[in-house]
Amino acid sequence: MGLILDTSLLIADERAKFNLSSWLRSRPPEPVAATAVHRGWAVATFNAIEFRRIPGLEVVEP
């Protein structure tokens, strides 16, 4: 699963009117994790704490 971001989000973040990184961190990791578990893939993330709680998912910290 992917997420398409409109450029207005990026512009608002650059102008300090929107905190894009906080908003992205607030989104649940489950759709990404479900796909990775189903396909036998690992997930590389800096948010390992959230992903490690999902059984059967291999988490790689870069």
Predicted pLDDT at 4: 64
pLDDT tens digits, one per residue of 3-59: 667 889 889 999 999 998 898 888 776 777 888 888 999 988 888 888 898 899 999
The reported pLDDT for the residue numbered 13 is: 93
Q: Find the helix or strand (DSSP H, E) in which 48 lies.
A: helix 48-52
Three-class HEC string of 6-44: CHHHHHHHHCCCCCHHHHHHHCCCHHHHHHHHHHCCEEE
- At 58 the pLDDT is 92
pTM here is: 0.52
pLDDT of residue 18: 93
